[in-house]
Chains A and B, each alone.
Chain A
Amino acid sequence: MRRRHFLTVAASSVGGLLVYSLDGKPQRIPAAGSSTIRVPLRFFTEPEARVIAAAAARIFPSDETGPGANEAGVVIYIDRQLAGPYGRDRYRYTQPPFEEGLPEQGYQGRATPREIYREGLRLLRGFRDLGAAAQDSRLHSIENTVFFQLLRTHTIEGMFCDPMHGGNAGLIGWQLIGFPGPRMSYAEDVERYYGRAYRPKPQSLEQILGRPVKPFGEEP
């Protein structure tokens, strides 16, 4: 069994409350205190997690338009997905033979998401030593790989998933786009906000149900 790895981050660097200044600029108010969070990693080693986090942060950067992959904890989402049934290709037909096909026939590779990330990490060797511009050009050079396509998809998923899956920490992603999350009814609202923004405060599935929900296929 491999040594247990943890990702240690400042509590103030993830989640938080998003507010908008008078000129419409988003400001994140971090959670109070100066504690750190130690998140146990299920798939990545700690250095691997930092590389993936750095790449996700170039795809969905933290900038003047608001927080990004780092504040949402996207790498935690990816780590959990790869550790679970998805990472082992539980949701794909994996009978051989594996043959090359046309793009219209869909992905035909043998590699599982885990293996695709292992290969991707090789492509990103030394990534964290690069400056932002050099990181971007490295990513541009691998844009057409299966790995990059997955990483981009997973970064969006990790920004906007229900927090039970490890991403969207503190609902920061939903705050950013004004998505309220699951909600029992809009019957009274659906014809009331024509042409103007209706932005109820986001809530997670656990918050609206008042009890935790277990993700699909997660082992106890």
Chain B
Amino acid sequence: MKRLPPVDAVIVGGGWNGLLMAKELGARTGLSVLVLERGEPRRMQDYVEGMDELDYGIRLRLMQDISQETVTFRHSLRHSALPVRQYGSFLPGSGVGGAGEHWSGISYRYPPDSFELLSRTIERYGAGRLPEDHSIQDWGVSYDELEPYYARAERMMGISGKAGNLRGRKIDGGNIFEGPRSTEYPTPPMKVPYLAALFRDASRRLGYHPYPLPAATISQPYRNPDGVIRAGCAYCGYCERFGCMVGAKAQPTNTLLPVLGRRSNVRIQTGAWVRRILVSANRAKGVTYMDQQGEECFQPADLVFLASWTLNNTRLLLLSSVGEPYDPETGRGTVGKNLTHQISIPAAMAFFDKPLNRFMGAGSAGIAINDFDGDVFDHSGLNFLRGGSIYTVCYGFRPMANFGVVPERVRSRWGSEWKKEALRYYDRTGRISFYGEHLAYKGNYMSLDPKYKDRYGDPLLRLTLDWRDNERNMAAFMASKAVEIAREMGAGEITPFAGLKRYDVTRYQSTHIQGGTIIGAHETQSVVNMYLQHWRVLNLFVLGASAFPQNPSGNPTLTAVALTYRTADAVIDRYLRHPGALI
């Protein structure tokens, strides 16, 4: 094995969290920082040729190469896991910028009570209301503690939106159910495509509180505190699964790389496939990786940051035997615990008489209501806990993925009759969507697969995951609300969501997978402490949504980035002066 010259800090993964940590360490300290990214370099200039639905939207050019590594999946301990052989329910990114290149940019803050989910739920409804096999936990960090970091994350990305709660003052037109914000959004809300305007007006008539989605696809040119200037959105409709060719969508390559490029103490090594973290006597010594030539290298480092996305963060800890793997039968161990996804459903498909011009839009150009989020509404008489956002986003519907949707009365899926109806409704179909919380359960977890391997012979990660009645009942309730809104919007025919049954890896939900290396206040229940520092291996930090004890409905990126800012402050201001436990 080739032994490389040591660095002060090695960061595994070059997405939002890894590159943000590299920027903070690089700009605020003199440490030598190395980012290991297994994908390829990416630049904004590449994306102008990327407005191609087949290569990017269907063949998924920005995603991890699934032929080299995937995960296996089963519904429960009683079933056998099989590999996810082609992408479906989520899309892990690869290359510099990671999934932060191909995201939609919807940038929610989580509601304050979601950080204390277990305590607040018991307080309001009693422990008897919790699902029998739940493993919900409090985060150990509160919304108030995280608020300044949320604000920093929003300023760095230039998020567009309208505050609904400014230091406790409720503001009409924003999300009045959000936690108190210290500042207004850095840029004003995005323009409103027609379908979203129909949704906004209809939901207001029904007494709800519509607000513009908080958007990293910014509404106007913006200069962030690092001096990075980005353009305003062109509404071209090539966001999710694509990189932004004008740099309006905040991506690590257009928001962090310009700063990193000016620092001589930060280096990004692409084509570096990390296989193990080397730990001895509770100290991380560095990582081993395969380089582009297929040679195995040992990179020594004083500080190790894992920022390789939820699944790979968990897998690397398991492969490296760092910490005790979670055992769902005994409840012992923590690594791999509390795997959650997100309920993400087309709650209602609405068929209109008028054309919608759906090709115009952006990944986060849309309108939402949070009247059914979290504990905003009382669950006493309901058969589920918690909730989420009902919304419509006009991300720019492209034809290969969207042609062919027809009202339920049309029975055929090919041939002349289908074609006639599909043509008629191609630009007259609107989707009312729902994002909802996915609670954590004892039986939903990650472990190493005993059978299937990656390109280097390392075991794949195995997901054991299924929906429970809480998710099924919530989805059904929200579909009925979405149908009411669609009717008020003037839809002629409406197809409600068919219902959540078993977890299905073939239906795209969202790329929001959480858990596995969760945050918490107690070592027995979590992998990292409230600063994302490993409880035992104190020079190891695990960044990203793998820290979330459960999914709190909204999209995770902004919260993951806020937590990374908080960790960066703790490392720079405290750990470097006095290496040791941060709590």
Q: Which residues of A contact B (CB under 8 A)?
A: 58-61, 63, 65-66, 68, 86, 89-95, 97, 99, 101-108, 136, 139, 152, 155-157, 159-162, 164-165, 173-174, 176-180, 182-187, 189-191, 193-198, 205, 208-209, 213, 215-217
Contacts and interface: CB of A to CB of B under 8 A. Distances in A.
Contacts of B451: 97
Contact of B66 (A92, A136, A176): A92
Given A92-B67, A160-B399, A198-B357, A108 B82 contact: yes
Contact of B427 (A155, A197, A216): A197
> 5 tightest A-B contacts by CB?
A182-B51, A185-B234, A160-B399, A216-B55, A186-B360
Contacts of B278: none
Q: Is the interface of A mostly helix, strand, loop or mixed?
A: loop
Given A156-B404, A182-B52, A187 B82 contact: no
Interface string B325-345: 000000000000000000000
Nearest to B399: A160
A97 B365 CA distance: 44
A148 to B, nearest CB: 9
Contacts of B400: 156-157, 160-161
B84 A106 contact: yes
B419 A61 contact: yes
A58 B415 contact: yes
Given A104-B502, A106-B86, A196-B355, A95 B403 contact: no
A73 to B, nearest CB: 14
Given A179-B399, A187-B234, 10 more contacts: A61-B415, A65-B423, A91-B59, A92-B66, A93-B86, A101-B82, A106-B85, A157-B400, A174-B399, A215-B55
Interface of B: 48-49, 51-55, 58-61, 66-67, 69-70, 73-75, 79-80, 82-86, 88, 191-194, 197, 232-238, 245, 354-355, 357, 359-361, 365, 398-400, 403-404, 413-416, 419-420, 423, 426-427, 451-453, 502-506
Nearest to B506: A106
A180 B359 contact: yes
Contacts of B85: 92-94, 106-108
A203 to B, nearest CB: 11
22 contacts: A59-B415, A60-B414, A60-B419, A68-B419, A91-B59, A93-B67, A94-B67, A99-B80, A102-B502, A106-B505, A156-B404, A157-B54, A157-B400, A161-B53, A186-B361, A193-B194, A193-B357, A196-B355, A209-B48, A215-B52, A215-B54, A216-B52
A60 B422 CA distance: 11
A91 B233 CA distance: 31
Contacts of A213: 49, 52
A185 B359 CA distance: 11
Nearest to B238: A182
B70 A177 contact: no
B101 to A, nearest CB: 15
Nearest to B48: A209
Contact of B413 (A152, A191, A209): A152
A65 B357 contact: no
B235 A190 contact: yes
A58 B414 contact: yes
Contacts of A179: 359, 398-399
Most buried by B among A93, A104, A173, A182: A93
A3 B371 CA distance: 66
Contacts of A60: 414, 419
